[in-house]
Amino acid sequence: MLVESESSEFLGQWFGMAFAALEIVRADTTTVEPSRPQLWPGHFDPAIEAGDQDHCASYGASPGDATIDEPYLYVSVWWPERAAVDVTNPIWNASGFTGRVLRLSEFPDDDPVEVATQFWRSTRNLLG
């Protein structure tokens, strides 16, 4: 399979941004029991897992998939009922899983590492 140079450059930048922001969130003392960031081969996205037994979630950056055809950040809540997530609240806007997404097309014109860090931190804070 041949990957175009423009696509590979974008993926390198996207993954670099994600790993940088994930390390910041992971190092934040408010983040409970974070795993090390890794590139998950099944999803092809950099992500961490964090939280206690009632507030655990995956935090990651997808390059796009069958449900969202553009790169996006996500937080996927493992046990929404334990975290008392109100799935009717529009902030939980993911489809296919209980969680929150921020599409690349919705990024503000700020530093992408800061955008990702704030997205993940604010969502983590919603989970308690």
User: How high is the mean pLDDT in each 10-residue block of the chain (128 residues)?
Assistant: 78 97 97 96 93 96 94 97 93 95 96 98 93
Strand-pair category, 99-103 with 72-77: antiparallel
Record the pTM. 0.94
DSSP bridge partners of 77 = 57
CA 81, CA 101: separation in Å to the nearest integer? 19
* Angle, CA 111 vertex, CA 119 and CA 11 arms, to 5°: 85
Query: If you ran DSSP here, which 8-state letter would residue 35 be given?
Result: P
